[in-house]
Amino acid sequence: MHLPLQIVARHAQLYRDCLRLADYISNRGSQASRGSLRAQVRDAFRKHQGETDPVEIEKQKDAAIRGLSNYMFYEAQRMAKEGEEGGEVGEKDG
C-alpha cells in the first residue's frame, strides 16, 4: 500500500524540521553532539518508515510534533527567564 503524495510530503517536511531542531540544539551548546542527535531522528523515522496504518502514522506524527512543540516551549520559557534576570531593555530604575 502506498501513501498519498501529500502525506509523504508532510512527513518529509516534519523529518527535515526534526533534523533542523537537532542541529539547533547541538549548536546551542548541548552536551549531545550534532551527529548523535541527527542519528536519533533518523533512527526514529526509519523505524516507522514502512508503516501503512493511518492511525499509527498519525500517532507517530503527533509524537514528533509534540517533541518539537515541547522544545519550542522550553526555549521560550528559558529566553523569558533570561530576560527577567538580565533586565529588560528600556527598563527604568526606581
Using one digit for the tens of pLDDT, what is the confidence trace for 20-74?
888 888 787 666 688 888 888 888 889 888 888 888 888 888 888 888 788 878 8
**Quick one: average pLDDT of 67-84?**
82
- Poorest-pLDDT segment among 9-13, 40-44, 74-78, 86-90: 86-90
Torsion angles phi and psi, residue 73, rounded to 5 = -65, -45
The structure's pTM equals 0.62
Cell numbers at 52, concatenated: 501503512
Residue 89 resides in a domain: no
Please, what is the Cα angle at 39 between 37 and 42, to 5 degrees? 115
Residue 94 resides in a domain: no
Give the total number of structural domains in the chain.
1
Residue 68 is predicted with a pLDDT of 78
Residue 76 resides in a domain: yes
Domain extent at residue 9: 5-83
Residue 31 resides in a domain: yes
Residue 13 resides in a domain: yes
Residue 56 resides in a domain: yes
Torsion angles phi and psi, residue 61, rounded to 5 = -65, -45
